Structure 1
């Protein structure tokens, strides 16, 4: 594999390592801490040069360790290592800022451009974003001048302080100027979230709007999907209220 593949594999491993380190700071119980430390050890290189294949094997080994230990809430609701690695890969590909084509735009720029084109600056817009979409929406809204009375983020990886935050734009992180309220929802069993307290890392905008993080608890085999979050009254309620407010304007 070439340098690009090596870099992609390394970035993916870094995302997982960052998530594990964040979980270790959140006072896990003894069993969970032991599992996290084992997975972390599997990710770390042994001093020899690593190619993309070896890094990916280490990443999969770490993921399988996290998923096969029974009785641990943190990982028990993920269907497979493949599902988790797919979610992390999406974040990694966007933040790589690669993929320039004939229009000269990178993949991330094309995605943001498409998002902005779907928004209507002539009236207020409620923005609900999930997972990688929270990173995309955050960046896109910095280039958007329309009113955003409510910005909702679900299962956001923005809290990853090493693998995500340093690569986001603009920096330092600040609430987009058009946002008038930001609600960030997270689930204890959603590993993509890592660190949910976004107000610690994202500064308020000029209107003193800061992200407000609220925990929800979903049931079922996999808690990360947007549908699981939106099924929660704590999430759906503010969205419906905001939509009703917009419809009366």
Structure 2
């Protein structure tokens, strides 16, 4: 997908190329080789499945229907992945770091390790994270770990965790580098930050009911929604790093962060073993300024199995589908609005 910049507005051309949406989806890291359409093909059926699991059968059918159907509930992907492949960006690869990015990436990797060491539900995963932190902090003696281990970076330590083991260390390190580079570049490159948010805002109109963001996409969704001048019935954040209190939380805009003033309901969902989500309970960090009548469910947890950060596994859960069905049901006839019993 080519990202077009408006001639005078500085807005990307998403509004011209894609229609508005009832549900706006915002993808996470590592999607630069995808497109809005390919990601929609994965996300939309998964979301419909979660809505169906929650009992909203008629609404799930309308989410899955062909887009030309008059009864279709349209869900669109806000795609920003191509920004990381544009010519002229610093570095020739989306996994390369500039000097400022490298420092932030190493600090972010340390926080991911600390999260896994403190809260991983599987003892072997927790033990691996504790061991890698000891190497990073040089708490392991040379006679135990070898000189190479003493110099191990947090980024390499994250790549050694069970998440990436099936892919081999070479692939794992490249994936981790890419993930960290994309997170840090969002905060250090104003052009990427603005264009990513604009990809969300350009899909929103008065008929939009829901915004769902995963991983880095939850950060982009949050900052974009903070700029809305219209009500948004539901914001859902999945596997979100918004709670990284030393690296991401202090860089959010505006500061200090608070509850989005035009959002009526915010549901945050995290897997306990999703260390990218760092802090699964956002309640204490974003409860300031909750409008009268608004609802904040900032501490919902699910089990996504062996791939705790996969977007599709989050979307299929009733804990996600339920709020979607409830929100959409309020604008539908009563026969569609009630979950099946």
1-side partners of 2:166 and 2:181: how far apart?
A: 15
Does the CA contact (< 8 Å) of 1:13 and 1:43 recur in 2?
no
Gaps of 5+ in 1: 47-55, 68-74, 100-105
2-side partners of 1:217 and 1:30: how far apart?
A: 16
For normalisation by structure 2, the TM-score amounts to 0.58
Report the counterpart of residue 38 of structure 1 in structure 2: 131
SS of residue in 1 equivalent to 2:269: strand
SS of residue in 2 equivalent to 1:192: helix
C-alpha displacement of 1:34: 4.1
Report the counterpart of residue 20 of structure 1 in structure 2: 113
1:147 to 231, 236, 244: 231
Deviates more, 1:193-202 or 1:123-132: 123-132
Report the counterpart of residue 263 of structure 2 in structure 1: 179
Report the counterpart of residue 300 of structure 2 in structure 1: 214
Does the CA contact (< 8 Å) of 2:236 and 2:268 recur in 1?
yes
Q: Does 1:90 align with 2:182?
A: yes
Choose 1 or 2 for highest CA Rg: 2
Q: Structure 1 residue runs of 4+, over 6 Å off?
A: 27-30
Report the counterpart of residue 161 of structure 2 in structure 1: 66
Alignment CA distance shift 1:77-1:172 (3 Å): farther
C-alpha displacement of 1:45: 8.0
Does the CA contact (< 8 Å) of 2:113 and 2:154 recur in 1?
no
Over residues 23-72 of structure 1, what are the superposed CA-to-partner deviations in whole Å (9 max), with x where a residue is unaligned?
Answer: 445487875554323322444589xxxxxxxxx972443124333xxxxx
Alignment CA distance shift 1:189-1:128 (3 Å): same
Does the CA contact (< 8 Å) of 1:134 and 1:158 recur in 2?
yes
Does the CA contact (< 8 Å) of 1:203 and 1:210 recur in 2?
yes
SS of residue in 2 equivalent to 1:210: strand
Over residues 142-173 of structure 1, what are the superposed CA-to-partner deviations in whole Å (9 max), with x where a residue is unaligned?
Answer: 11012211111111001111121111111111
1-side partners of 2:279 and 2:106: how far apart?
A: 17
Gaps of 5+ in 2: 1-89, 92-96, 140-150, 335-341
Aligned length: 223
Report the counterpart of residue 103 of structure 1 in structure 2: none
Report the counterpart of residue 232 of structure 1 in structure 2: 317
Alignment CA distance shift 1:27-1:114 (3 Å): closer
2-side partners of 1:150 and 1:165: how far apart?
A: 21
1:199 to 283, 286, 308: 283
SS of residue in 1 equivalent to 2:224: helix
Does the CA contact (< 8 Å) of 2:209 and 2:327 recur in 1?
no
C-alpha displacement of 1:92: 1.3
Q: How well do the aligned residues superpose, as a CA RMSD in angstroms?
A: 3.1
